[in-house]
Amino acid sequence: MEEPIGLIVSSFGEVIGVNKMALELLIIIIGALFLGLSFYRPEDKKSNYSAASGWIFIGIYFYLQSEHYVEISDPVLILMTASALPGGIALAIWEIKTENTPEALQWLRGCFTWAIIPYFVIFSIPYLNMALIQLTAESTELMLEFSGLGNYHIGEMMVALDDGTDIPVSEWEGNKWILTESLAEEGFYVQFFDSDNKVIVQFIMACSGLQSMIIFVGAIGALSSVSWKRRARGLLIALPTIYVLNMFRNAGIVWLTETYPEWSLMGIEMFDFTHSYAAKAISLFAMFLMAIALFDLLPELHKHIMKILDPMFDVVDKMRGVEKSS
């Protein structure tokens, strides 16, 4: 049974004749535009209401993705997406109740704007989407073969259609410059074969590490009080590092999945364990360390993050019965 919010959104899409993928894209783009307007026009008296609307739209979008992560049993992303709507509502209330927008909240508006728009530009342009997937697969192949861990090859670029069929992109009649039709969850992908021509994994856009990169693009790009040179240095440190770490992540998942095909833990097979649990935990820890490393170059980033977390710390302190010192 579909949960109520997803059912309402799906029903609305049917009424206006828009497919699910297009409607979800519309929801998050509207949210990003509202946040962008409030970020670049903070002096506008209505900017708080614009930002509040943006947080609601973005919260709804990410909440709608939780259904997919329930289907593939990804506990980390289930937690993150399911908490997006209550988080968006909390930020909207903070926006409306605040007369003078704190600098940190203003930064957070820009952070999401700078992250969402570039990400969905890449997602919505099939040529860019497929190029990123191909680059990810070839980088992983290079890493594995350079390390002497086996011989692999990459299959033809495929597209998973909304009707459940998968066809080569060479046979796909869709628009390759702008995505105009709904695709299955996999979207575009390439299969990764071992030396025996057995499919080990398949690479989709989510395997590229773009989500991690785009978080730092948003967080650093929105530091409007920081010179562009310092922001550029921060990005030059973060993005290549994430890209290389993601290569190791993908190579590790492929090698472990191929080497230990019979391994399981409480019914969880090797691929699911490495992909949904171990790799995500390591990735989150690596991003945490990356942020700490950047705080020395960009102390403003640390200040904004701590200010955003202040309300959460206040709630915890109240639950513990601790009074906040002035």
Convert the pLDDT of each residue in 134-191 to its tens digit.
999 999 999 998 888 878 899 999 999 988 899 999 999 888 998 888 888 889 999 9
Half-sphere exposure of 98 (CA within 13 A, CB side): 19
CA distance 254 to 271: 8
Asked if residue 35 is part of any domain, the answer here is yes
Q: Strands 183-193, 199-203: parallel, antiparallel or unpaired by DSSP?
A: antiparallel
Asked if residue 156 is part of any domain, the answer here is no
Asked if residue 219 is part of any domain, the answer here is no
Asked if residue 280 is part of any domain, the answer here is no
pLDDT per residue as tens digits for the range 273-321: 888 888 888 888 999 999 999 999 999 999 999 998 887 766 666 666 6
Asked if residue 224 is part of any domain, the answer here is no
In 10 A of CB 45, how many CB atoms?
6
> Is residue 326 very low, low, confident or very high in pLDDT (cuts 50, 70, 90)?
very low
pTM of the model: 0.84
Residue 69 CA: distances (Å) to CA of 32, 66, 159: 23, 5, 20
Asked if residue 63 is part of any domain, the answer here is yes
The pair of three-digit structure tokens given for residue 200, joined into one six-digit string = 């080990």
What backbone phi and psi angles, to 5 degrees, belong to 86?
A: -60, -35
pLDDT per residue as tens digits for the range 29-52: 999 999 999 999 888 878 899 999
Asked if residue 267 is part of any domain, the answer here is no
Asked if residue 68 is part of any domain, the answer here is yes
Tell me the residue range of the domain where 84 lies.
1-101
Strands (E), the chain: 153-154, 158-161, 166-168, 183-193, 199-203, 264-265, 268-269
The tally of domains found in the chain comes to 1
Strands (E), 194-326: 199-203, 264-265, 268-269
